[in-house]
Structure 1
Amino acid sequence: MAEQLLSIAQVAAVAGCSLSTVWRKVKRGELHPIAVRPRCTRYDPAEVAKAFPGATIEAHAAAIAAAWPPLTDDQRRMISALLSAVAEGSK
């Protein structure tokens, strides 16, 4: 499956920068928007990775996950019970 294109806000979030920084990269030709319909552009994740070295969706997700507080024992039990119920229902 092909990677999903990113909005400019998603690019800024993944890169850890402002929208203005993304726009500057576009203006300098370092990042090329893809027109998906009038007034709607998206960006290729592979090109975003080249324009912002070290910025990946995986790194962004890891940073978000690291900022979250750890799960409590009750939360772990509830998640385990939900996963078990889903596994039983898919058999």
Structure 2
Amino acid sequence: MVRLPLTPAEVERGQRLGALLRRARGERSMLLTALDAGVSPETLRKIESGRIATPAFPTIAAIADVLGISLDAVWSEINKSDDGTALAPSGRTPRERLAS
């Protein structure tokens, strides 16, 4: 299976996700957080650092649950543009359209 390169928007969302999880974890140990979520500490470290920009949904759901973050809050945070407007899943603003 060939994995396609990530788009800049996907990389940016991964960085936002990592920052959100780091903030939510606070002083809590990465090891305990990972173990409580059922993921490896290495996986959590890579997600928090943005090296895994598109982690599996169950992984994020488990980590968010352990940290007490709603999935709605995660979705809202990672899909903001730099100016605070919401992005569509494609990484474009909702009103932006492709020219044909």
Q: TM-score, normalised by structure 1?
A: 0.34
- Max Rg structure: 1
More strand by share: 1
Q: TM-score, normalised by structure 2?
A: 0.32
